[in-house]
Structure 1
Amino acid sequence: MSKDGLCAVITGSASGLGAATAAILAKDGARLVINYSSSAKEAEATAEQCRQLGAAEVVVVQGDVSKDEDCKKIVAAAAKWGRIDALVNNAGVTKHVAHDDLDGLSAEDFQWIYGINTIGPYQMVRAARSLLEASAKASGRAAAVVNVSSMAGLSGAGSSVAYAASKGALNSITLSLARALAPAIRVNTVCPGYIDTPWFTKGRGADAATKVREAVIARVPLHAASTAEDIAQLICFLATPPSGHMTGELVRMDAGMHLLSVRA
């Protein structure tokens, strides 16, 4: 999987899955835009790690993808390269609310979650379109957009109704844009199940997060808790030429969790 010289923009890449994706691309000399919303210290640490791993260039940009002007600012950081070969829409948020707690989510909660998880990726593609098309023109192959969704968007489960709905909408956007932007830009989505990152710890506390992890390992067919690096490998595949004939795909990676809904 050659990524030498790849120009990539990764939103929400200060830590977790975004940082793991950046690290993999960095090892083969990619040029990277690292984006963060509030965690500047983490973003700079990730950028330095990427430089040490071999990235040709790393630029750190603050920006909230729910704001159109910030999306334009993030993309502008790659303008000096004259192209974007891969855009990874990884930034995401949630609010942990039981699905039967209908009073636990307000209209403002929905707007905040949709703003980042659903509208943000759309705005990022719109802002990056000309540079993605420039990549296709220069290389003779389609540039890549990889959206990071969730199994929640396919199952209606997950951390809250609003989160699941936002990811379901992102899946639909993937199909729409894959049709609309071909042949210059291909658009695919990764739908992870459980990922062993601080996501659950921040949302539910350390004890609850440990119980979730143990329950996942016990239940899923592969008896595994996927790491950020596991999912990042799939993202990098979809972001690079080996997946060049894939577009409009919603690719599950959940250690077999989806199989639990069907009993032999």
Structure 2
Amino acid sequence: MNVIVTGSASGLGAATAIILAKAGARLVINYASSASDAEATAQACRDAGAAEVVVVQGDVAQDEDCRKIVAAATHWGRLDALINNAGTTKHVAHDNLDGLSAEDFQRLYGVNTIGPFQMVRAARALLEAGAKESGRAAAVVNVSSVAGLTGIGSSLAYVASKGALNAMTLSLARALAPLIRVNAVCPGYIDTPWFTKGRGAAAAQQVRDTVKAKVPLKVASTAEEVAALVCFLATPQSCNMTGELVRMDAGLHLVN
């Protein structure tokens, strides 16, 4: 299995790559700025049994970088899955309308929405080649968020970018069938360094405790737990699924 995972230097992307490596996948590991983390993830994938691992720097908001990331897989002749995991945010209270600028929206849309589109466009030919060779549809998995379904999240700009990604997932699923199927994972809170980097350790712990107290299942999802769902959608186990927005939020959507 040949797979590109964007934003896979750490967190959910790294956990996803390592699960695929255990199944013997060939992987493109992508990072924007954390080269040391990416190399550590790549080594973990090799140790886990990956057939081949290629590390590529690139910002998915830049079309030329998306093409460079995909070019790293061309020598395989095909792709079986593209996992659009790269994402960014800015933490701003939703009632603080002056806390966001047009530039903030443009940056978040550039990475969270335009980036996945550009990656799909760049990878389309290889994904279609993979489908023709294997006899089943190749997979695109967009890592979205419950923020795009419920209007909650780290900022209004983040919510809007993920809502747009969800809508685009549905459109791409129609447009690219039958050779490529497109689904999205919409996690709730994930216990990764994401919140620590954005808010600091104390605030991140407060968010973790608040989430666990609030959600019906009383748990904070780990990167590995969500990655298992991402991998399910990327592999033939989900071969007849397309156009789905799959929520994994420990029941947060059930809370009034």
What TM-score comes out, normalization by structure 1 length? 0.97
| 1:123 Cα deviation from its structure 2 partner | 0.2
Q: 1:15 aligns to what?
A: 10
Which 5+ residue runs of structure 2 have no aligned equivalent? none
Identity fraction in percent: 77
Q: Does 1:191 align with 2:189?
A: no
Q: What is the correspondence of 1:76-91 to structure 2 with a 5 Å cutoff?
A: 76-91=71-86
Aligned equivalents of 1:34, 1:237: Cα separation in 2: 19
What's the CA shift string for 1:196-236, capped at 9, x where partnerless? 00111111111110011011111101000000000000000
RMSD value, Cα: 0.4
Aligned equivalents of 2:250, 2:139: Cα separation in 1: 25
Q: 2:199 aligns to what?
A: 204
| 1:164 Cα deviation from its structure 2 partner | 0.3
Q: 2:170 aligns to what?
A: 175
Structure 1 SS opposite 2:99: coil
| 1:28 Cα deviation from its structure 2 partner | 1.2
Q: What is the correspondence of 1:108-147 to structure 2 with a 5 Å cutoff?
A: 108-147=103-142
The aligned amino acid for 2:182 is V
Structure 2 SS opposite 1:187: strand
The aligned amino acid for 2:48 is L
Aligned equivalents of 1:210, 1:139: Cα separation in 2: 45
What's the CA shift string for 1:40-79, capped at 9, x where partnerless? 0000000000000000000000000000000000000000
Give every structure 1 segment of 4 or more consecutive aligned residues whose post-TM-superposition deviation is greater than 6 Å: none
Q: 1:51 aligns to what?
A: 46
Q: Does 1:92 align with 2:123?
A: no
Q: 1:162 aligns to what?
A: 157
Aligned equivalents of 2:255, 2:18: Cα separation in 1: 33
Aligned equivalents of 2:241, 2:157: Cα separation in 1: 29
| 1:91 Cα deviation from its structure 2 partner | 0.2
| 1:111 Cα deviation from its structure 2 partner | 0.3
Structure 2 SS opposite 1:111: helix
Equivalent residue in structure 2 for 1:35, among 27, 30, 39: 30
Which 5+ residue runs of structure 1 have no aligned equivalent? 1-5
Q: 2:226 aligns to what?
A: 231
